[in-house]
Structure 1
């Protein structure tokens, strides 16, 4: 009798356009693992955990809107997730379901491909869950983030939680930093003409990173290149956080390069289908 494949999943809503099944399944095939990764749309954390137990799912990715809401229903959460205030990774151990966060690791690994974070200054646009993971990762690596957001309430709370400065978004044109990081959805398809900051200020930064990965080359990154900045797309963060999940679930090293390549090819295919310039 053939071995029953190990089962992994993505929980959230919506999940139909996620790249995670593509990159995870490509990794498991290349690793010669008998495993399958599926996307499951669920309305809430309770349903996700019920599906996990009922279907024998060993590990799961968690996306919006569950990353924070599901935390109270887990048996255990690691210290990093407590600090960030969100989980994106679940795994089953001896009848218990545990939660962790690989977003911050994916973020810092993406940056480390270009420069050492220690001692560098960062301007973080936004104050949501992605911003929290970014600020946590920068602080952990010895960098100095400043939070800029339209919402002073969440921006100040984020800055206070991680002991870093907060400034209103209107102050961004008055500062310089080594790297500007957009953690907001501005510029995401289908609203790809959007840009979170005036292009005229981009020359104040050596590097610009956009966590939006669809489209792959956002307007922010195109304008940043025109201004002479180094640019980092959001795709490496997606790939690296997924690769870290594979390590957590399997204890094996995933083919990160392959995961990046299949994700990039799919994004370029989708862009061509839309007729993006």
Structure 2
């Protein structure tokens, strides 16, 4: 019997998650499929209508808080991030996880940096802060919503800084939507590398500016690795437990993305 999975969110038409996960299932030889479903709200109602062969869901905006509240058991990272991007069916209900934190950490694997600025105040920004604090990096925060940003800085015991200062960090992680930095770019002088979580359209205005003199990491890297984290969970592994031949799985996913360009 085919097992079913999907990503829920809105807007969802642009999502690359079906391409990534179906490539992964194909590599693994799993009798599973994965689709994108437009859903603005109502996670509980949607799941109530699913048959028993639906085994897992990915959640993107604006459903990550709903997914967190829906989980019968919630992973501690999802609790800390106040957002769940993964729901796994169990014998007793649904477990909620956050693989964004894992994805951000893996996207930066091998990069050399000490200071980090996180741009944004939403769920992905929280995940980025947690990922960097796990690595014991010095984190500062900037966001367009200053009140929310200062509150977040206090919660995570980080400094709230101006945007000019933020982009002087060894690493800037922008969690802003695509084009979210465009109005500020003319006045910025970046001094480190950039991880831009927004990957469509690519390259972003920020990526173009940073790439003149600095390394730029596309948000596709985070997307790939958070999906690999979900594949671990779909397979019944713990989040920190790699799949067999995972490096080849990642290669297969990258090839699928490359062929789809």
* Residues 114 and 238 (structure 1), Cα distance of their counterparts in 2 relative to 1, 3 Å cut: same
TM-score, length of structure 2 as denominator length: 0.89
Match of 1:173 among 156, 164, 167: 164
Q: Contact conserved, 2:178 with 2:204, CA < 8 A, in 1?
A: no
Map of 1:262 onto structure 2: 256
Partner SS, residue 118 of structure 2? strand
Map of 1:163 onto structure 2: 157
Q: Contact conserved, 2:116 with 2:169, CA < 8 A, in 1?
A: yes
Distance in 1 (CA, whole Å) between partners of 2:200 and 2:5 is 24
Distance in 2 (CA, whole Å) between partners of 1:81 and 1:234 is 20
* Structure 1 segments unaligned to the other structure (5+ residues): 189-193, 269-277
Partner SS, residue 59 of structure 1? strand
Map of 1:207 onto structure 2: 193
Distance in 2 (CA, whole Å) between partners of 1:63 and 1:155 is 21
Distance in 2 (CA, whole Å) between partners of 1:265 and 1:202 is 35
Pairing 1:121–2:118 present:
no
Encode CA deviations 1:10-33: one digit per residue, 9 max, x unaligned: 122232221111110111111111
Partner SS, residue 149 of structure 2? helix
Count of residues in correspondence between the two structures: 250
Map of 1:82 onto structure 2: 79
Encode CA deviations 1:177-222: one digit per residue, 9 max, x unaligned: 101111101427xxxxx6263245333x221121111123212111
Map of 2:240 onto structure 1: none
Partner SS, residue 177 of structure 2? coil
* Residues 240 and 156 (structure 1), Cα distance of their counterparts in 2 relative to 1, 3 Å cut: same
Pairing 1:105–2:102 present:
yes
Map of 2:43 onto structure 1: 45
Pairing 1:220–2:214 present:
no
Distance in 1 (CA, whole Å) between partners of 2:46 and 2:148 is 27
Map of 1:187 onto structure 2: 179
Match of 2:221 among 236, 244, 253: 236
TM-score, length of structure 1 as denominator length: 0.84
Distance in 2 (CA, whole Å) between partners of 1:217 and 1:121 is 24
Distance in 2 (CA, whole Å) between partners of 1:258 and 1:94 is 31
Distance in 2 (CA, whole Å) between partners of 1:55 and 1:218 is 41
Pairing 1:151–2:145 present:
yes
Distance in 1 (CA, whole Å) between partners of 2:138 and 2:204 is 25
Encode CA deviations 1:5-56: one digit per residue, 9 max, x unaligned: 122121222322211111101111111111111222233122232144x353
